[in-house]
Amino acid sequence: MPGSSQPYISRAEPPVATLNDERVRLQDVCIVHGRGDKAVVAVEGVDLRVGAREIVSIVGHSGCGKSTLLRAIAGLLPNSSVQGDLSVMGRTPEEARKSGLISMVFQESVLAPWRTVERNVTLPLEVARGRTRTPGRTASEQLELVGLKGYEKRYPKQLSGGQRQRVSLARALMMEPEVLLMDEPFGALDEITRDEMHSELLRIWEATHASIILVTHSIAEAIFLSDHVVVMSSYPGRVADTISIDFPRPRRNELKDSPEFARIAHRIRLCLEQNR
């Protein structure tokens, strides 16, 4: 905000990550759906850098291309639809995904109901079939990390929504990825559970070496979790602003009630209003 000396910096350029610690790099990335007269530009001219163990959130109105951008980073879009420079750990997104360097958590937990919690967590190992590096933690250790020790033999239907998302997170971490992509992972949870999951995610992140890119509609979630918040303009999606969040870690939920937190939230809301 003009005249404010609060602990954040607004800037047009992307967060800077040095060559040695850079995990994700996007330069002038455009994403186009369809061809010819039916071609639709979903994302245009996006620049982004994500460094080692950084958490970067992407916020914007529905339809601005947030999830599309995340899927491009995950290597889940056809190569023909993605233009510009996009790399993960110096590799193409598809190479990084197949090597286990990327994992993704979706809004829905997407657990196999016929598999136990433990067998849901080990599913990436079965799919990979030895094509990626051996993980350092067992499924039981991953479940303990996410606070579900003793739940190995239960089934998804026996879990709450928050517990299912914890299983989904444990599964995503099974391959010990360098980059964890999260698409509205807490959007279906009630506010109390969501606050708990914010603290839990930060605790789990502290125990890993992963960088996180999070897509969310929650301004508070983005500020609380992130080192940088990227604000997207409406269709076609462009980076309207990048805000660095300088609150020290560890962070507690009381931070959300602070005047500084409110000022940053106001800045993001104003940017969203100006870039519909």
Domains in the chain, start-ordered, CATH in brackets? 8-101+177-274 (3.40.50.300)
Strand ranges (DSSP E) for the chain? Answer: 8-11, 22-33, 40-51, 55-59, 82-88, 102-105, 179-183, 211-215, 228-232, 239-245
- How large a percentage of the chain has pLDDT more than 90? 55
Residues 68-92, mean pLDDT to the nearest whole number: 90
pLDDT at 202: 92
Q: What backbone phi and psi angles, to 5 degrees, belong to 264?
A: -65, -40
pLDDT at 130: 58
pLDDT in tens, 148-190: 999 999 999 999 988 998 999 999 998 889 999 999 888 878 8
Residue 129 has pLDDT above 90, yes or no: no
State the Cα–Cα distance between residues 23 and 91, nearest whole angstrom. 10
- Beta carbons of 33 and 39 less than 8 angstroms apart: yes
pLDDT at 135: 67
Bridge partners, residue 213, by sequence: 56, 181
Contacts 24+ apart (CB under 8 A), 123-132: 123/171, 124/100, 124/171, 124/172, 124/174, 124/175, 125/174, 125/175, 128/100, 128/175, 131/98, 131/99, 131/100, 132/98, 132/99, 132/100, 132/175
pLDDT at 6: 34
State the Cα–Cα distance between residues 209 and 211, nearest whole angstrom. 7
pLDDT at 108: 83
Radius of gyration of the chain from its Cα atoms, rounded to whole angstroms: 19
Strand order in the sheet with 102-105: 8-11, 239-245, 228-232, 55-59, 211-215, 179-183, 102-105
pLDDT in tens, 216-226: 999 999 999 99
pLDDT at 18: 42
- Beta carbons of 77 and 85 less than 8 angstroms apart: no
Residue 7 has pLDDT above 70, yes or no: no
pLDDT at 209: 84
pTM comes to 0.87
Average model confidence (pLDDT) for the chain?
86
- Beta carbons of 261 and 97 less than 8 angstroms apart: no
- Burial label, 52 (beta-carbon count in 10 A; 0-12, 13-18, 19+): middle
- Helix axis angle for 161-173 and 191-206, nearest 10°, is 20
